[in-house]
Amino acid sequence: VPFVVKDLFDVAGLPTTAGAALRAAVPPATHDAAVVRRLADAGAVLVGTANMDEFAYGFATVNAHYGTTANPHDLQRLAGGSSGGSAAAVAARWVPFALGSDTNGSIRVPAALCGIYGLRPSHGSLEMDGVFPFVEAFDVVGPFATSVADLRTVYAAMRGHSLAPVDTAALRVARLGGWFQRNLDPELEAGLAALHAALGGHALRELPQAERARAAAFVMTAAEGGYRHRQALATHGARFDPATRDRLLAGLQLPAAAIADAQRFGAWFAGAMQRLWDEVDVLLAPATPCAAPRIDQETIQIDGVAVSARANLGIFTQPLGLARCPVLAAPLYRPGRLPLGVQLIAAPGREDRLFALAAQLERDGLIGSTPPSLEPR
């Protein structure tokens, strides 16, 4: 089975660029990344590496050095990021699965915009050996696929063992309200409402201080990213993608008090989320606020204000990284229309619940990936 990996996984014999031109001449990796080796041992065949936002810092896969990855459903639209190359390769049916990484939404955003499945596993559940880091407090790796069964098979191979079956009738499923009901495309709202109703229509739940959680993740990401690249910024700043460089430099200027506040909030948030799991088994939320924007459309509307699409397509994915929980991004079943995606969220270590529920929804025809028509829309 052929597959591709985001260009921050070590591949023996190739430089690991992490989407950065200044890393094009680094010594080639001597070994494949640990999860790539596991997949090879299971019979998968690596056929290439895929484009990404430089150093995984973005939600668009707009790369000043290696180009912009187009969405297979409409080549004038963004594929999402930062794992956009991997997602686009799967959505175009070039390969049946691919690997990406997710810090604040880098698997879930492109999965939603490209109309495929993507998994952000529980933090720490998969080996990160041989994966170029961004923010170690949030970084995970995970697969993309066009069916729940394929996604589950690949995840099991990456993990080294299969998942036990789950009775979906016993699952307590709720939809997230508040922050996760604002700024939604009307068709996405309708799709979420239909899913919510099909799953029992239980009372809406609130993610504890979701907006503040997003802000905390933003601060922690900027601070660690800036610190990680501080030497290269000082000596080779002109060789960075300008948009990436500006965000990393901004992170270096954050005051220590703001970083400490964000870290303290993160610890509180994880505890608050743990209490929520005492009441519900799976949460339902949008993955992005809208379908894929056009490549030449620099902004999207958030709360009536035009903001950067590249920085804000992850408004619904960013708050969840603090909770260290698994999230399965799934496409609403929309043949012939631009993809819209949702997130299924469970407690840490409960990927089994996500796969079981997603399989049921796929059988019921509520979610599902359809091949692109390649007609502009």
The set of catalytic residues is 6, 82, 106
Farthest CA pair distance, the chain:
58
H or E element in which residue 315 lies = none
122 is written with which tokens? 């529980």
Separation between Cα atoms, residue 303 and residue 315, nearest integer Å: 12
Instruction: Report yes or no: 226 and 251 within 8 Å, Cβ to Cβ.
Output: yes
Strands 70-71 and 45-50: unpaired
Q: Which residues pair with 344 in a beta bridge?
A: 284, 328
**How would you list the strands of the sheet with 97-102, edge to edge?**
45-50, 2-6, 97-102, 140-145, 117-120, 327-331, 341-346, 282-286, 173-175
| Count of Cβ atoms closer than 10 Å to residue 177 Cβ | 15
The sign of the CA dihedral 154, 316, 116, 97 is negative
- Asked if 302 and 88 touch (Cβ cutoff 8 Å), the reply is no
